[in-house]
A and B are shown apart, each in its own frame.
Chain A
Amino acid sequence: MLEVEKLNLSRIQETCAKQKTRWWDVFAEYAIHKTYSFKNNVFYGVRESEIKGYGIRLNIDGKTGFSFCNDIAMLDSVMEYARETARYGEIEEYDLPAKQPTPHVECYDGNIFNKDTQYYLHTLQNVVDTIRSAYSDCMVDAGLGCVDGYIHLINSRGFDSGYHYSRQGSTISALRILPDGSRVQVYESITWNSDVNIHELSERIIQKLNFSKQTVKMPFGNYYVIFTPKAFGQIMGVVLQGLTGRSIERGISRYIGKFGEKVFGRQFTVYDNPLIDFAPGSYPFDDEGIPAKSKTIIENGYVKTYIAHLQSAHLLHVQPTGNASRGYAILPQESFSNIVVEPGTTSFKDMIAQMGTGIIIDQFIGFGQSNTLMGNFSANLDLAWLVVQGEVKGRLTNSMVSGDVTTMLNDKIVLSSEREWVGDAYLPYVLCRINYSTT
């Protein structure tokens, strides 16, 4: 476990306490990362880093200033910068939270650090060999690493608490150039605060390469489509945009005036839950010191609530939701923790059969470039397959889909019984209809 005394927090606390402020807080981060990587099927190298950083907010005469540094030797300068920026900062009349009980959630598993170099090399070599035993012409890149981290928050109201977190993550990509010259690249990744099952990723990759052996065409039109959890993760990004206090306070949320109304299909229920043991988005308190709690964001299609940090909660006259997120050099912003979508009752296999003819979409290109404020999207299909009468026929290229999430996620959607973790979201496969365009 990290030697957190290296953060020198007592010195910072003393210095802050001497400032003439309405309030202050200090966010300190300390993390050691180590990642082993294979490139083009062979071992490439090891990357290690040790990162420390401090972010200091001072509220002077109601206005907030902010500064940051990596090296504690800069502390005096940083205090001066924070004081200076406070002259021009926004008026922030809320108070910081005092020390209060926080819920327990497991964020740290020290066992992940007990593995030696040979374990990492062997595990990654195994993954490369497994994929190449199925496709010998495949070029595989694979990384496996872990983080030993610590976050500490102190403030002028006596909040003084920190927590350790561990993280193990892996990303694997496999590239094939097919005989017709077309390029298929499948990537899978997983992050968890405990051990990850990297072999699950190679199995998924092989299945997706199996689907992509040949390229097929399909005329433009409106079709049934199944989003894999990975693709649905990007759709969820658009769904959740506008469900923050900031966007509501700024007037740019498309959900304004729709809270309590049915916007999506009745099957659609979404939670924000930071209290799942070892999940990558879990924490006992947020980065402003508000205790973490689970919230229902969308329930049976009804938009129930939004997330808010201290500032937007104050401006909107609501309670902060425990969703402030910051880095040492970044001011607090609203951020979802673990997003959990309720599953359905249909298996993925039955979904394919039920779809008849349609498309399975796994990877997009350029998804975030649309006007997502409106809930619209338009994206090229990086990895998608044509399904005819319940059978996968091959990969679709030179094509794109477009639509808006509200129309798409209507009462006719079907959610799978299986779910997968995609980053910090736990998502099902989703069957719906979509507009498809092609050259």
Chain B
Amino acid sequence: MLDPMDLQKKLKSIKAEYAEIRISESFSTTIHLSKRMIETCKVGTSTQGSVRVYNKGCWGFFAFTSLDMVDYAMQQALQLSHIQKKENAPTLSSLQMNVIKEKTNVLIPPNTVSLEEKMNVLTQYNDILKDSNLIENTNVLYRDSLTQYVLCNTDGSIVEYDRFFCGLSLSAIAKDGMVIQPYGESDANYAGFEIVKDKHSVAEEVVRTATELVLAPQIKSGVYNVIADPKLAGVFIHEAFGHLSEADFIYENPRMKEIMVIGKRFGPDILNVVDDGTLPYAGYIPCDDEGIKPEKTYLIKNGILHSRLHSRETAVKMGEEVTGNARAITASAIPIVRMTNTYIENGNSTVEELFEKLWNGVYVVGALGGQTNLEMFTFTPAYAYEVKKGKKTKKLRECMLTGNVFVTLANIEAIANDCTLFGGLGGCGKQGQGPLPVSSGGPHILINNVLIGGKGAGSRKTKSK
């Protein structure tokens, strides 16, 4: 790895309003087992870097995969930054100077665990997943990496971060006649091999759920009152409001600024939504990819829009404080505004009280994913339960929830007090950069009038007690 002090010296010679160099060297292991075979067993190294230069409102960016290209990349990025000058472009420099040297705390560094031991542990999980006649295929996916990352910028920041990332995904595909049903669980974090050990019970749960779901009926399309579990509540808030809080969607759009004006009500008083990159989950960052420290940012406080997520450019252009949310998927990608650890804070109800309030409706559990266009969103639970008279009854498969962001936030009726955050081997995708490690979560939440897609067409409504 190149010496950060040398990189900082190089930056001093560049004639730019703002410039940064980011370099990473990674060593990674990926293992993928399926029911019948070892799909992948690979170990590799990756070298990535970039130089980004800002002058008079114009960004020049050059990415590379060889450390001997740093000087060339600086020349190129500088040249590209002079392609067009803008009058009255704001300066983006001198925002924060951070000198950080950090290493992930791990109990078992993955690079000290032999491939043989990794294979042994994963094979045990795969054997559990295979242990049902209804299971047609299994997927045990393991990934670890050690990345040495350096960022230097013209604000004088030097960030050195040696990070371990480790994660596991266990899934099974059950088949009964013509019905094929996948189900899986995943966990990942900036951590060591300890987070993938002793997951036998998770594998057992995956098989149990997949084999139950393949025999379960499909949910009927319609409008329902729903309780979302903490995992799905996290995906909901990530999709429904987190992306809308990313200021790059707003900062130069006058109409969006009107809609997203600070102080506007977006939900009930009980709703508090936070993004916090300092928490020790998959979205943790010691510093963002522009050298700005993350912080606890309230997006919604007591139902009111409180603040938003910023890069240095969006913060300066909107006259707001930086929040440390400029993140890039790799050192050769451009930092853009991203979430970190995003969650709904605890409310004042118990989970039992939520079921009592729901009475009849649907309880949606787990998360397969979500997507938004900043007005409408979808999120897909792993499965659902029909709820009758406040009690969970039969399991239902294949449902997708969708709605209008603003209407759905306003339709949150109650929030429980069991907030939990979740990461995973997947992550967030935006503008071609994904999956970026993030976590999301919350407590159980009760939302009224959610459109669920499933079997047939419908607009049936469920009635609360």
Contacts and interface: CB of A to CB of B under 8 A. Distances in A.
A401 B453 CA distance: 7
Interface in B360-409: 368-380, 397-400, 402-404, 407
A366 interface: yes
A105 interface: no
Interface string A343-365: 00000000000000000000001
A84 B43 contact: yes
A139 B376 CA distance: 19
Contact of B453 (A49, A67, A70, A378): A378
A77 B449 contact: no
Contacts of A90: 37-39, 41
A398 B451 contact: yes
A49 B63 contact: yes
A40 B59 contact: no
A47 interface: yes
Contacts of B334: 47
Interface string A34-46: 0000011011111
A331 interface: yes
A365 B64 contact: no
Contact of A376 (B50, B76, B378, B398): B398
A71 B45 CA distance: 9
A66 B41 contact: yes
Contacts, number: 248
Interface string A78-106: 10010011011110000000000000000
Given A69-B45, A435-B457, A369 B59 contact: no
A78 B44 CA distance: 7
A47 B336 CA distance: 14
A221 B457 contact: yes
Contacts of A137: 255
B115 to A, nearest CB: 6
B378 A365 contact: yes
Contact of B58 (A43, A67, A219, A437): A43
B194 interface: no
Contacts of A399: 451
Nearest to A401: B453
B380 A370 contact: yes
A49 B333 CA distance: 9
B76 A378 contact: no
B137 interface: yes
A390 interface: no
B296 interface: no
Given A44-B59, A52-B66, A437-B459, A70 B45 contact: yes
A50 B86 CA distance: 28
A254 B181 CA distance: 12
A379 B60 CA distance: 38
Contacts of B374: 183, 185
A402 interface: yes
Interface stretch (B99-107, B148-156, B171-179): B171-179
Contacts of A81: 42-45
B30 to A, nearest CB: 9
Interface in A28-66: 39-40, 42-53, 65-66
Nearest to A92: B37
A185 B376 CA distance: 11
A252 B371 contact: no
A69 B115 contact: no
A139 B371 CA distance: 22
Interface string A123-137: 000000000000001
Contact of A121 (B81, B83, B182, B407): B83
B119 to A, nearest CB: 5
Q: Which of B222, B332, B378 has the most CB of A within 10 A?
A: B378
A288 interface: no
Interface in B423-458: 449, 451, 453-458
A70 B253 contact: no
B213 to A, nearest CB: 10
Interface of B: 31, 34-48, 50, 58-67, 69, 76-77, 80-81, 83-84, 86, 115-116, 119, 136-137, 173, 175, 178-182, 221-223, 252-253, 255-256, 259, 332, 334, 368-380, 397-400, 402-404, 407, 449, 451, 453-459
Nearest first, the 7 A-B pairs at minimum CB distance are A366-B378, A45-B59, A378-B453, A49-B63, A177-B255, A435-B457, A70-B65
24 contacts: A45-B80, A47-B63, A49-B62, A50-B69, A65-B42, A84-B43, A87-B115, A177-B253, A183-B374, A183-B375, A185-B374, A220-B458, A252-B175, A329-B44, A331-B40, A365-B373, A366-B379, A369-B368, A369-B370, A379-B400, A397-B404, A437-B221, A439-B223, A439-B459
Interface of A: 39-40, 42-53, 65-71, 74, 77-78, 81, 84-85, 87-90, 117, 121, 137, 139, 175, 177, 181-183, 185, 219-222, 249-252, 254, 329, 331, 365-366, 368-371, 373-374, 376, 378-380, 382, 397-402, 435-439
